[in-house]
Structure 1
Amino acid sequence: MAAAGHYAHLLLLVGLGAALFYAVLREWVEPLPALIGAVALLLGKPTAHIAAGLMHGHYATGFVFAMLSILGWNRYLKGGRGYWLGLSTLAYLLATTCKEVYVPLVVLLPFLPVGTRQQRVRALIPFVLIALLYIGWRYLLLGRLVGGYSQGVFDASEALRQLLRVPKLLLGSKPPGNILAVVFLGLLCLAAVKRRLHAPVFFMSLGIVLLPLIPLTAFPGIHSPDRYLFVPWVAFSACLAVVWPRETRPVFALVGGAALVAALAGVHAQEKQALRPNLAYWDTLYRFALSLDKERQAIFVVPEFGGTDDGYKRSVLIRARNTADLFAPKPQPGDLHVVDEKGRGLEQVPLATLQLFEFRGGDMVPMPPERVAEKLPSLARGQPAQSVR
């Protein structure tokens, strides 16, 4: 239950992923653009979310394997030995077991400008077999091929609205993000005019980035630059490295690169500041759940941002306490009681007197009777859960 080691492991994975991303970019671009792309990856808002959340480690792990797969693919098609293809295939297999966002890599590989078309087609065979195996596996487990969440109804206009907001979510609307957006668009146009963009890779990447986001617009929705936008940010970082001017003098290149990194750092700082209250909230909630007196205290939770969590907080807090009790020398008997804004959990509250606590003002505080009546009107109407005070 001590999370420091896992956080250290997660940060190592993020750093390793950035180093491998740099190595992949170096297959096509010079050191400075590749370094800018790797730094952009690290300073992205989605990367901050992944590095800050224990439940996001599969994104970081899968990214490491995806970069190894691309690197092995390139080395093999440049005349390397067969073990490079074996490494690439194995890394792709492992990436698909981490997260489904890495499965479309099989579509991108044959468009990368390396080797001949015939070589790429032959080398792609094991990847196609793995992708087909994954599709069958996914259908067997989920009973569906598209989407993974069961709630929500797809709406085309709402999906379009959310997708159009992705650039703003990633870069924000403050000066650092605006500067970054203008510079990126300018570099992209310049690269297009000079025909330095590889059109097949560009448009295939665009499809790989956008299509998997469409089911998410129904549920849970794309409303923040969190883990769901990690792959779009990877694509942005790679594109930034590719469109970086090649003819610039070293001094101007270094100054421009430093200014760009400063803008990225500003965007990162804004997201870090925005994340801090949410991280503090969860830290306080978990600490209280793991230490409270289950015979005297209970927790009342509400969803953030005015939405709904569909019982998510109840589930994770109860299971976290159950897990902690497994390691306690003398665990307290009974269950942790968590009540949400819809009254779920009230029916499981024992007749013994319990004090409800809620998160307010940065701490867990007891709820006075009038506050309980306000948040849980069913208690005031004399419902069976009136034993909670």
Structure 2
Amino acid sequence: MSWVDQLCRRDYPNRKTYRYEAPWTVYAMNWSVRADQPFRLALGSFVEEYGNKVQLMSLASDSVDTAGDFVCSYTLQHPYPVTKIMWMPDPQGIHPDLLATSGDYLRVWRFGAATLDLEPRLECLLNHNKNPRFCFPLTSFDWNNVDPYILGTSSSDTTCTIWALETRQVLGRVSGHGQAHFSYSNKQVYDIAFGGGRDVFASVGADGSLRRFDLRRLDSSSIVYQHPQRLPLLRLAWNKQDLNYLATLAMDSKEVVVVDLRRPGSPMALLKGHGACVNGLAWAPHFASHICTVSDDCQALIWDIQQTPNAAVKYPTLAYKAKGEINNVQWAASQTDWIAICYKNFLELLRV
């Protein structure tokens, strides 16, 4: 069943999708969570050279003279490709309007009080590298939903680092493979996600394991899931509506693994509907059992994991076919009936 026939917006009943064509390949992207900034997104370029960009986008209004669906409010200069973008988790807008990007370092940008027309400035640059001779890239990061002044990064140097944004100090650093010290092994950490309160986070990486950590007890960790063939696990998403569920995907895999923390070790569900390797996943911000996955098969699929628990799930609830291999997906937290996908140099918004 395709959801393309259901795509529309109440303000524009004849529209089914919104599309933006960027001047470069798009990879990283994220929705703003602020209620006063609906349909605001940040996009990062993927250019294999020095001199990348981050564009700040919003839907064009009737009063704006534009040839497309979006308006680019500002372009940030970013030296290396952005591995992840996130806005500060602040739906009510009570904190400063901040955007973070990861690449060679973790950069945090500040915006004006109520508009993107004011030029953003670099608030801080957080350097995770302990060895001054090397700059190990950050593979990903996550922003703590309980305490928005805490961020965690994962790195190709095998570590996860937890930062206090107000003091710019490191709260803790662990090897993503279970050691509470800095380690230069050959097992990179590819993703990190907070869940279960202020202090609990998880990581996945090249050793094929999904591990859970507690910032209060960094001398130990627990393995939640281990890939049977020890394939590297590339992405991790923690279900914020039901913290018992995490989802992950392995390198070059057509499947998505859903894990129930109450029964660790074995998958709670295997999502098997893609015809090529899966690149991204995003839990629904308003339904605990819904998750969207995207793949090189050009499909975005929405699954209901409660339909067939403890089994391989082959048929999604909804499906959308794009015009290229989809490399990322983000589900809007403030506009929960909208999903953003990107492929090639295109961004598309889809209504579910």
Could you state the TM-score of these two structures normalised by the residue count of structure 1? 0.21
Q: Pick 1 or 2: higher relative contact order, CA cutoff 8 A, min separation 6.
A: 1
Could you state the TM-score of these two structures normalised by the residue count of structure 2? 0.22
| Greater share of strand | 2
| Greater share of helix | 1
State which structure, 1 or 2, has the greater radius of gyration over its C-alpha atoms.
1
